[in-house]
Amino acid sequence: MVDWADEVRAIVRESRIWYVATTNADGSPHVSPMWADLDGDLVLFNTTVGRVKERNLRRDPRVCLSSVDQADPFDRVQIHGRAVRFVTGEQANRQMDALAGKYLGADRYEWLIPGEQRVTVFVEPTRIRRIVGVEPLPAAALGPDNSRAEA
């Protein structure tokens, strides 16, 4: 488990859209915009049982969530982690209602499809990064004299 900076916790508690990236069986990426929140040190989001992201995470638990400040898209957070728990049933429904409250100010999530089963995915972060401005180049991208390496 990684340490959370208070400023990053505050960002996750905002009603920002988070882009959740998972890996398809063929190795290609799958990205979905999601609502997210915190449960202690875990990030959570809620989806429907059987969606691509849920199937991907049950097969390969690696995930990355990314969000930007709408007022400054160069102020962004990336959370890399692993899906460590999947919760279904009434608890997942209550968590979806809580997310609808956070994002819409609604008492309940009103867009359930008949027969749909919700699942809350809990993510344990392995790396958390907040980047503000232009991200510095990694040392490997620089040549021995600190100039750009030629391709």
Q: What is the CATH number of the domain that holds 117?
A: 2.30.110.10
CA terminus-to-terminus distance, the chain: 37
Residue 35, domain extent: 6-133
| Higher per-residue confidence, 88 vs 142 | 88
In a domain, 14, yes or no: yes
For 89-122, what is each residue's pLDDT tens digit?
Answer: 999 999 999 999 999 999 999 998 999 999 999 9
| Higher per-residue confidence, 137 vs 148 | 137
Cβ–Cβ under 8 Å, residues 41 and 125: yes
In a domain, 113, yes or no: yes
2 phi and psi angles, rounded to 5 deg: -100, 160
Q: Where do we find the tokens 């690696």?
A: 62
Residue 41 CB: number of other CB atoms within 10 A? Answer: 12
Handedness of CA 107, 113, 115, 119 (dihedral sign): negative
Model-level pTM greater than 0.75?
yes
